[in-house]
Structure 1
Amino acid sequence: MNEIRVDAVYQASSEPTVGRMCDIETALASTPLTTTVDEFQVVLAFPRFEGQVPAQGYAGWLGDDYAPVGLSPAYFTAHTVFDVDSSVEEAGVQEALKAAVAAIRFAAARLSDAIRVEQPSVGMVGEIPKVLSLTAMDTARGLELRVPEPLNPGYGMVRGLPVLTIERASQALRDGVVPARALLSQARHLTQSTNSPQPGMAILLAAVAAETHAKELFKSFRPPGSTPSLRSLQEKHGTAVDLYGPIAKAVIGRSLEDSDPTLWVELGGLFSARNKMAHRLKTPTHPDARRLVVAGMRAIEWLG
């Protein structure tokens, strides 16, 4: 058996500057944390604090110089050790390394989330922290191994989006970006163009965009005193997806349920996922969120 150790160093805050760095209690600086991700045991640790400031690995501290109550770490480390049968070929070793790196990233993101929940100024919960170094060693043979993963994952490539037109540019300069379109754009970014996808937040933004866009559009078709009023239609048809079904039929003379039954079902899935997030904090998977956000975009385009 060959013993392999993977080590990573993560930036503790989104910005490595004093005033934007996180603060931890001094006890945590001397206490490694261990968690299990899949079959890997991951050990995370902040720079060791010897009881005196200034301390190596820390940019600042809180409280008395002789008895600080908080420290501002510049980084934290994460490592895991696992065995690979010596008969396994290179491709198998690389697959094991990929799995180990994924486990380390998962644990590092969880530790980062713990920081950001307490101190939102240092970054957004759910973002993968920046990797400063990533190495792998076959400790039995003293050999450094090639890590099959990039230091920091790149952004997803997205092609085929519409070009900015004179009309859209002029409209934005004159009136600002339409709020629903802005929310939908943010939702699509969070599922398509970031190495730290936020499926739950994306679902909330896309659902709000689809619902408010329909309501604002229908208001222009239903001036005060119209019969039936938009309010009475919403009271009769109480779900958000009904805005694109019977309510749309009554206001603009067409229904997504009739025009595109498949998209109608997907849009219903978007609002259902939003409700699960809002009422049960049940986060959808990234693939589901990406699909449902696109459904929201297509439904808005269908309305015009």
Structure 2
Amino acid sequence: MDWDKIRLFYEVAEAGSFTRAGERLGLNQSSVSRQIGALEHELKVPLFHRHARGLLLTEQGDMLFQAAQEMLLRLETTRSRLTETSQLPAGNLKVTATVGLGAIWLAQRVSEFIELYPDVHIQLIVTNEELDLAMREADVAIRLRRPAQPDLIQRRLFTVHYHAYASVAYLERFGEPKTVEDLDNHRIVCLGGNQPPFVLAVHQLATLGRDPKDPRPRHLVVNDSLALRHAIEHGAGIGMAPAYAMEGKPNIVKILRDIEMPSLDTYLVYPEEMRSVARVQVFRDFLVSKAQSWAY
């Protein structure tokens, strides 16, 4: 297959019309349409359904689009590796992390990295969704579990310990629970919504010491970890949170300190093909050094 035609097909599929693709590429609409027709004739399959409102990919067209997208991503990765030197890390680095780790732990430390490597430009994507690193949705990720994909390099950073917390104001009003059974008389706040099961399992106060089929009432369920922590800080009730987010806050008290609570290991993850990219190397080494000097 002619790569120029494949690249043209990709642009048309992205744009959704011959006219818009032609504007991007500096070609007229008839030229673009003619080349796509030639490609369909060469492959002996239709690639687009042609409608008055635009173009829709056929099943065969979608297969070719996925293959073209993968080729373009690999070429971009190769270009980055060929043009970058290990002596001078530079360029864009797309980093994804969970909401808590990204907005608190990493955000508090990233300014130091920027000072050390001013030519590396970081785009931080804070989300609890696991972005597809193989498709270059991000270059590196900080995750709360070991990745299952065999083609990803992983480096354990540190363990995140979770504890039960309440605000001073809440405890002054309702008293501090001394045993697990005392939780029956308190307001329970927890994480919910569309969260991975291993994350929801950490927020176990509703079932701690009880039959899971008979949980305590949950007075507040929040689908965002930062919102949950703000609710705990402002007296909504007792809830679970990572130690790194709560330690050092004078208005927060760790409760049930003698009870063993859950923990999650964090991992730095990136594709094998990014191993020798200098900006990834220095970012990895920076995070490892910070993890070794910090533990909660």
Q: TM-score, normalised by structure 2?
A: 0.27
**Bigger proportion of residues as strand:** 2
TM-score (norm. length: structure 1) = 0.26
More relative contact order, 1 or 2 (CA 8 Å, 6+ apart): 2
Answer 1 or 2: which has greater helix percent: 1
